């Protein structure tokens, strides 16, 4: 019974843990958004880059609109490069009162002179101050884009009424001028917050429209909150699906353990039926017991899920920070909804899995309840039916996959049906496999080997469920493993041909895959002019509005070299690289084309500094850095249409005969006094990119491990049920001279064989799952083209994993069987 | 051959101990067929379990061909049992995962030292019980009588020094029991093998060289009277 509870608890813990981690990330982002949005109803946002603060002045002077407040936002780190992330919120305290009350307005206690004065000052929350170990009046070092600044903390704040302490976590509130200095954005704003009255809103909007600079627009405050959901939807959904897989494997376990509990009380049920207890009453008893197991298991699972959530939230945060945006999650957001979902899944799965054993026990007539051979007869004769249902489910799964269009959730449902179909075929395969292996086992292990092989098909009702659970868990692990490996190989190949230069220079950014930090112009010039540098090409990452959506744009200087068709998914008939320099032609990444249904030859409206301009899509290129979609524009066109002249990175080609490491050392010492820059060789940047890739999949690895653990317990319970049922047989063997060591060897050989069968069956299922993950789930989630790269080692490891898991699970029952008192079992004669 | 002296077996029942066997002493000589009578719960099976080494006595001695069983470890007793004993159970207790032939060869296979000659002898025994053509069948394909004949073949296949049988005809109908009895007579009694049979079946008593009776944990030699009782040829059952 303890094992059933453990099984349910593990499954629920994984589901709850992932749900809490996902929802905590969402809540943290929403809180930080709401906190900085305050009571604003709308905001003027730029079409791309930032707004000029003239817009704010114009707004107040020309329209007389008073309910407006300028904001400049960004991120920095406290202390050093690896310090905690702080969100900078630059505001004008004189305009703030209707929006946010952190500064207390002109009548507040804050020393506005000091806050708005020339020295860098700011406010942080009490909890953040405590965490950083500073007090009011202390200096705080800030590190951003390789530069360090020092700010004086004027005061510590408490949250506004109605907001939690968490809403202020890691928020650094500064005057707008201080923010412009810290974020290196002189005269610029992120947005202008507005409060528009409901009465006459249309007239107000019309009036405001007149002062809007080109490209800027007014959007409701609520728009910002939905950003995270849109960005991370596929990421979160895939994690949730993985967590549900653990629960599916857990259902095999629950089925097994509930069957075990029926087996344990087979004679009691038989006697109860004999004295007139009805089938319905027995069924109710077993289901009620399952509900209690489900309740206890789910409760333990929910508590464990909270602990697991603490571990997973770090991994999830790290992935989100690497891939999408900066979010700092201080605490796990315990939602009743998340815990309730765990309880529902746990209870539901337990009762569902217990339904079959309950029905089995009650359908049998009293005398057959006492004989397990009935189960074996039934499973043998029902083999065809199981295969038939399996075939039907496989067809249904394929149909769902085919019909589900772009729905990821439905695609997972399709995959679930295919997994269940495979599970229903497993008894037949296990039967054939163990019969086929019997002579071979006899040759190598003698009578013990033959008995081990026969033991599997003679106890198919137990062994097949254990084999199915282990097969599904191992197949899922190897399937995800092949998918991750394929992905990694694709990314590695892509990095090899994308990163051609010898050295890459960039300032440290907050988001690895979207570094829009800038290199100081002076430093850039210094690097370009250094000895040993043959050629340099700049890269700029910017956010621009394309087709009304804020989009990441990479601005590059096309290098004069051979066209490599392998880089492009689709190209126009003309030389798009030449066209990108001479006219308004851009390239879009594969995920962009997928997300926004864009094709070569389409026109996209890009909001430039001089207003909207139409660009033609010249090519769709492979890009694995962002699943959100990126657009590439030539530097010359960018400089024609935008005022930004900064660069985010430099690619350097060393002169012939120059030692790369030596050049890196020279570059580092030449720039040591200025901005702290990341100067990396081709190889180390590639490695860093792959490290981030691997880190992103750490959470997947944790989930795979937990799934295997659930399956491991499944095998353990199946073996314990077998032990109970085989007590007499083992006693006879002991009576006929089988030593305890031979008993242990027989059980170990049998479990090893079960593991081997699971491992071998997991290979085709794992390959199928990998294929579905790569060509269906990945395609529908992100739109990437991935190579299907099967490393034979992964498959070998899967088989080995299954064998080892089974052997470990068999060790305890084997030991206990070998120590069993043979006379006890024979006493039942 | 087998010397049992002052044998005692007790089980704990809460804080007190209950004696099942008290100061049992008897001897079985080579080639003797001894029948052990006793009501249900008299301790017959317990005594067989201790002679087979599957259980250990609370005190006393069991010496078999000079080896003191009570001084052996569990594994040593198992190896001793494998080499010197053959056991026939009431419920046949064939291994369902093994074929008839494999069941018969089981003790030899477990010893991992069986040579071709020994295997041939084992298969001869299977022929002698009349099932030479059923070697590749699994036990669930056999009738009760056939299963018990396989069990007898298994108990004899490795030519053990002592055969222990616990109610060998207890689960069989009259006609089948007679067949099994014929086989036992031919293979055990006529070949002068040593055997201890615990039974209620008075038909078996006819074969016995000696009859022992267990009553309230004590042993009594009742050979003359029992032989007389069984001589009328009627099969009747003692005990409850």
Residue-wise pLDDT tens digits, A548-587: 888 889 998 877 666 677 788 899 988 888 899 889 999 9
Q: How much is the pLDDT for A635? A: 92
Q: How much is the pLDDT for B235? A: 37
Q: How much is the pLDDT for A371? A: 43
Rounded Cα distance between A558 and A126, Å, is 50
Whether the complex's predicted ipTM is more than 0.90 is answered with no
Q: Identify whether B78 is part of a domain.
A: yes
Rounded to the nearest 10 degrees, the angle between the axes of helix A660-670 and helix A521-528 is 140
C-alpha to C-alpha distances, A594 to A590, A620, A774, nearest whole angstrom: 6, 10, 15
Q: What is the mean pLDDT of residues A683-694?
A: 80
Q: How much is the pLDDT for B237? A: 38
Q: What is the mean pLDDT of residues A22-26?
A: 73
Contacts with A739 from chain B: Cβ below 8 Å: 75, 78-79, 110
Name the residue among A247, A258, A252, A250 with its Cα closest to residue A287. A258
Pair A801, A708: CB distance under 8 Å: yes
Contacts with B150 from chain A: Cβ below 8 Å: none
Q: pLDDT tens for residues A93-152?
A: 888 877 777 665 555 677 888 888 888 899 988 878 888 888 888 899 888 877 788 999
Q: Identify whether B239 is part of a domain.
A: no
Q: Smallest Cβ distance to A738: which of B87, B93, B110? A: B110
Nearest chain A Cα distance for residue B84, angstroms: 10
Q: pLDDT tens for residues A170-221?
A: 788 999 999 999 888 888 898 898 888 877 778 888 888 877 887 788 887 7
With pLDDT > 90 as the criterion, what percentage of chain A qualifies?
12
Q: What is the CATH number of the domain that holds B137?
A: 3.40.50.300
Beta bridge partners of A608: A611
With pLDDT > 70 as the criterion, what percentage of chain A qualifies?
84
Domain count, chain B: 1
B97 burial (CB, 10 Å; 0-12 / 13-18 / 19+) is buried
Q: What is the DSSP string of A526-541?
A: HHHTSTTEEEEEEEEE
The backbone torsions φ and ψ at residue B54, rounded to the nearest 5 degrees and listed phi first, read -80, -20
The alpha helices in chain B, defined as continuous H runs, are 44-51, 74-84, 100-111, 116-128, 144-157, 174-184, 202-205, 223-230
Tokens representing B102 are 């494999």
Pair A58, A222: CB distance under 8 Å: no
Nearest residue on chain B to A742, judged by CA atoms?
B110
SS3 for A396? helix
Q: How much is the pLDDT for A736? A: 84
Rounded Cα distance between B208 and B185, Å, is 10
CA angle B98, B100, B103 (to 5 degrees): 60
Name the residue among B97, B103, B90, B101 with its Cα closest to residue B127. B101
What sign does the CA torsion over A612, A615, A617, A622 have? negative
Rounded Cα distance between A24 and A333, Å, is 5
Q: Where are any strands of DSSP class E within A195-323?
A: 217-220
Q: pLDDT tens for residues A224-235?
A: 655 555 656 666
Rounded Cα distance between A544 and A584, Å, is 15
Q: Do B106 and A742 touch (CB under 8 A)?
A: no
Tokens representing A501 are 């230069």
Question: Is residue A373 scored above 50 in pLDDT?
Answer: no
Rounded Cα distance between A158 and B74, Å, is 74
SS3 for B97? coil
Rounded Cα distance between A405 and B213, Å, is 83
Contacts with B52 from chain A: Cβ below 8 Å: 735
Rounded Cα distance between A287 and A289, Å, is 5
Q: Element (H or E) spanning A688, and its range?
A: helix A682-696
User: 4-23 in B: which are within 8 Å (CB) of A?
Assistant: none
DSSP conformation class of B140: G
Q: Which of the two residues, A392 and A709, has the higher pLDDT score?
A: A392
B137 burial (CB, 10 Å; 0-12 / 13-18 / 19+) is middle
Q: Do B109 and A447 touch (CB under 8 A)?
A: yes
Pair A360, A375: CB distance under 8 Å: yes
Tokens representing A107 are 């009548």
Tokens representing A563 are 């066209």
Rounded Cα distance between A256 and A266, Å, is 15
Beta bridge partners of A121: A152
For chain A, say whether B75 makes contact (Cβ under 8 Å).
yes
C-alpha to C-alpha distances, A798 to A64, A421, A539, A774, A804, nearest whole angstrom: 70, 20, 43, 19, 10
Q: Smallest Cβ distance to B54: which of A447, A451, A735? A: A735
Q: Identify whether B113 is part of a domain.
A: yes
Contacts with A373 from chain B: Cβ below 8 Å: 140
Q: Which domain holds residue B213?
A: 2-8+18-224
Nearest chain B Cα distance for residue A461, angstroms: 15
Pair A437, A426: CB distance under 8 Å: no
Percentages (nearest 5) of helix, strand, coil residues in chain B: 40, 25, 35
Beta bridge partners of A498: none
What sign does the CA torsion over B94, B98, B103, B107 have? negative
Rounded Cα distance between A55 and A218, Å, is 13
Pair A32, A327: CB distance under 8 Å: yes
SS (H, E, C) A241-261: HHHHHHHHHHHHHHHHHHHHH
Lowest mean pLDDT among A319-333, B141-155, B166-180: A319-333
Q: How much is the pLDDT for A380? A: 59
For chain A, say whether B102 makes contact (Cβ under 8 Å).
yes
What sign does the CA torsion over B106, B108, B112, B117 have? negative
Q: Do B89 and A829 touch (CB under 8 A)?
A: yes
Lowest mean pLDDT among A430-434, A535-539, A634-638, B128-132: B128-132
Cα-Cα end-to-end distance for chain B: 32
pLDDT-derived band at A784, boundaries 50, 70, 90: confident
Q: Identify whether B234 is part of a domain.
A: no
Q: Identify whether B13 is part of a domain.
A: no
Pair A146, A675: CB distance under 8 Å: yes
Nearest chain A Cα distance for residue B231, angstroms: 29
Biggest CA pair distance of chain B? 55
Contacts with A735 from chain B: Cβ below 8 Å: 52, 54, 81, 87, 89, 93
Tokens representing A812 are 């305890």
Name the residue among A130, A132, A133, A110 with its Cα closest to residue A121. A110
Within 10 Å of residue A69's Cβ, how many Cβ atoms?
24
User: 150-179 in B: which are within 8 Å (CB) of A?
Assistant: 154, 166-167
The backbone torsions φ and ψ at residue B15, rounded to the nearest 5 degrees and listed phi first, read -90, -10
The backbone torsions φ and ψ at residue A154, rounded to the nearest 5 degrees and listed phi first, read -75, -40
Q: How much is the pLDDT for A160? A: 63
Tokens representing B231 are 């001589």
The alpha helices in A38-175, defined as continuous H runs, are 54-62, 93-96, 112-116, 126-132
Pair A192, A59: CB distance under 8 Å: yes
The alpha helices in A459-553, defined as continuous H runs, are 460-498, 521-528
Rounded Cα distance between A327 and A511, Å, is 10
SS3 for B183? helix
B225 burial (CB, 10 Å; 0-12 / 13-18 / 19+) is exposed
Rounded to the nearest 10 degrees, the angle between the axes of helix A682-696 and helix A698-725 is 40
Q: pLDDT tens for residues A42-56?
A: 888 876 678 888 888
Q: Do A823 and B89 touch (CB under 8 A)?
A: no
Q: Identify whether B198 is part of a domain.
A: yes
Rounded Cα distance between A246 and A778, Å, is 20
pLDDT-derived band at B221, boundaries 50, 70, 90: confident
Q: pLDDT tens for residues B15-42?
A: 788 888 888 899 998 888 899 988 877 8
C-alpha to C-alpha distances, B232 to A122, B176, B212, B236, nearest whole angstrom: 116, 20, 20, 10
Pair B90, B180: CB distance under 8 Å: no
Rounded Cα distance between A756 and A445, Å, is 15
Q: How many alpha carbons lie under 13 Å from residue B116 in its C-beta half-sphere?
A: 0
Instruction: Mention every residue, 6+ apart, whose C-beta is less than 8 A from residue A117.
Output: none
pLDDT-derived band at A795, boundaries 50, 70, 90: confident
């Amino acid at each position: 019974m303890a094992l059933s509870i453990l099984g349910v608890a593990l499954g629920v813990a994984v589901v709850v843990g992932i749900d809490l981690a996902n929802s905590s990330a969402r809540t943290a982002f929403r809180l930080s958004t709401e906190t900085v949005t305050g009571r604003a109803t709308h905001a003027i946002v730029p079409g791309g880059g930032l707004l000029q603060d003239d817009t704010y002045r114009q707004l107040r002077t020309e329209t007389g609109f008073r309910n407006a407040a300028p904001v400049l936002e960004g991120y920095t780190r406290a202390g050093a490069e690896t310090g905690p992330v702080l969100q900078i919120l630059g505001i004008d305290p004189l305009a703030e009162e209707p929006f946010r009350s952190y500064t207390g307005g002109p009548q507040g206690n804050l020393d506005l002179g000091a806050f708005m004065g020339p020295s860098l000052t700011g406010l942080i929350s009490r909890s953040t101050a405590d965490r950083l170990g500073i007090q009011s009046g202390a200096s705080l070092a800030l590190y951003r884009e390789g530069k360090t600044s020092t700010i004086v903390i004027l005061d510590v704040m408490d949250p506004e009424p109605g907001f939690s302490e968490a809403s202020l976590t890691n928020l650094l509130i500064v005057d707008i001028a201080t923010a412009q200095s810290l974020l290196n954005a002189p005269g610029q704003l992120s947005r202008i917050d507005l409060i528009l009255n409901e009465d006459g809103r249309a007239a107000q909007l019309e009036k405001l429209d007149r002062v809007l600079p080109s490209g800027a627009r007014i959007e409701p405050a609520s728009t910002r909150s939905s950003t995270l959901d849109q960005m991370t939807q596929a990421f979160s959904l895939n994690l949730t699906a993985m967590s549900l897989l653990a629960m599916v494997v857990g259902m095999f376990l629950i089925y097994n353990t509930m069957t075990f509990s029926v087996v344990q009380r087979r004679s009691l049920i038989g006697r109860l039926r004999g004295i007139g207890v009805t089938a319905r009453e027995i069924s109710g008893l077993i289901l009620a017991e399952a509900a209690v197991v489900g309740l206890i298991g789910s409760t333990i699972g929910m508590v464990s899920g909270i602990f697991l959530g603490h571990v997973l939230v770090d991994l999830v945060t790290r992935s989100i920070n690497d891939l999408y945006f900066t979010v700092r999650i201080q605490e796990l957001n315990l939602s009743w909804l998340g815990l309730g979902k765990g309880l529902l899944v746990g209870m539901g799965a337990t009762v569902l899995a217990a339904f079959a054993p309950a029905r089995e026990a009650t359908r049998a007539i009293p005398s057959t309840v006492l004989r397990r051979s009935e189960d074996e007869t039934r499973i043998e004769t029902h083999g065809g039916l199981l295969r038939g249902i399996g075939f039907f489910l496989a067809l249904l799964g394929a149909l769902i996959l085919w019909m589900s269009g772009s729905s990821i959730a439905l695609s997972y449902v399709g995959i679930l049906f295919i997994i269940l179909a495979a599970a229903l075929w497993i008894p037949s395969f296990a039967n054939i496999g163990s019969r086929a292996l019997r002579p071979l086992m006899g040759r190598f292990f003698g009578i013990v080997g033959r008995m081990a092989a026969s033991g599997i098909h003679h106890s198919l009702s137990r062994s097949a469920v254990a084999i199915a659970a282990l097969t599904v868990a191992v197949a899922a692990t190897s399937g995800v493993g092949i998918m991750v490996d394929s992905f990694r190989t694709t990314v590695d190949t892509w990095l090899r041909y994308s990163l051609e230069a010898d050295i890459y220079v960039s300032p440290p950014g907050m988001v690895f895959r979207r570094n829009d930090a800038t290199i100081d112009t002076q430093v850039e010039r210094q690097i370009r002019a250094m000895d040993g540098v043959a050629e340099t090409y700049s890269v700029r990452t910017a956010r621009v509005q394309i087709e009304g959506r804020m989009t990441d744009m990479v601005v590059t200087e096309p290098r004069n070299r051979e066209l490599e068709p392998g880089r492009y998914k689709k190209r126009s008939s003309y030389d798009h690289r030449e066209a990108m320099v001479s006219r308004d032609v851009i390239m879009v990444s594969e995920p962009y084309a997928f997300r926004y249904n864009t094709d070569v030859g389409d026109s996209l409206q890009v909001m430039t500094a001089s207003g909207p301009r139409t660009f033609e899509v010249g090519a769709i290129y492979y890009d694995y850095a962002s699943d959100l979609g990126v657009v590439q524009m030539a530097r010359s066109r960018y400089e024609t249409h935008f005022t930004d002249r900064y660069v985010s990175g430099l690619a350097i080609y060393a002169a012939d005969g120059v030692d790369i490491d030596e050049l890196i050392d020279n570059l580092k010492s030449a720039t040591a006094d200025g901005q702290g820059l990341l100067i990396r060789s081709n190889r180390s940047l590639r490695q860093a990119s792959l490290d981030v890739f691997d880190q992103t999949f750490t959470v997947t690895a944790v989930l795979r491990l937990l799934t295997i653990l659930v399956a491991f317990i499944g095998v353990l319970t199946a073996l314990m049920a077998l032990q109970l049922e085989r007590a007499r047989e083992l006693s006879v063997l002991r009576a006929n001279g089988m030593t305890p060591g031979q008993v242990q060897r027989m059980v170990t050989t049998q479990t090893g064989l079960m593991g081997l069968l699971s491992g071998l069956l997991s290979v085709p299922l794992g390959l199928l799952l990998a294929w579905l993950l790569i060509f269906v789930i990945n395609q529908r989630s992100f739109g990437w083209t991935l190579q299907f790269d099967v490393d034979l080692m992964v498959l070998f490891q899967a088989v080995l994993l299954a064998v080892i898991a089974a052997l470990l699970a068999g060790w305890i029952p084997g030991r206990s069987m070998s120590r069993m008192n043979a006379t006890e079992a024979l006493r039942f004669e | 051959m087998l010397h049992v002296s002052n044998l005692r077996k007790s089980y704990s029942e809460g804080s007190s101990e209950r004696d099942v066997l008290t100061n049992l002493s008897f001897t079985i000589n080579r080639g003797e067929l001894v029948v052990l009578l006793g009501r249900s719960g008299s301790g017959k099976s317990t005594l067989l379990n201790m002679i087979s080494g599957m259980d250990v006595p609370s005190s006393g001695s069991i010496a078999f061909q000079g080896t003191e069983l009570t001084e052996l470890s569990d594994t040593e007793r198992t190896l001793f049992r494998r080499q010197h004993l053959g056991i026939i159970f009431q419920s046949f207790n064939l291994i369902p995962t093994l074929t008839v032939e494999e069941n018969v060869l089981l003790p030899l296979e477990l010893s991992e030292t069986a040579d071709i000659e020994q295997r041939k002898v084992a298969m001869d025994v299977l022929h002698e019980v009349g099932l030479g053509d059923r070697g590749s069948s699994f036990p669930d394909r056999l009738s009760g009588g056939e299963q018990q004949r396989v069990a007898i073949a298994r108990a004899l296949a490795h030519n053990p020094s002592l055969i222990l049988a616990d109610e060998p005809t207890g689960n069989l109908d009259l006609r089948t029991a007679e067949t099994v009895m014929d086989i036992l007579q031919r293979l055990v009694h006529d070949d002068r093998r040593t055997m201890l049979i615990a039974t209620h079946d008075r038909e078996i008593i006819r074969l016995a060289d000696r009859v022992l009776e267990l009553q309230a944990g004590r042993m009594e030699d009742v050979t003359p009277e029992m032989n007389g009782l069984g001589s009328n040829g009627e099969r009747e059952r003692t005990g409850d």
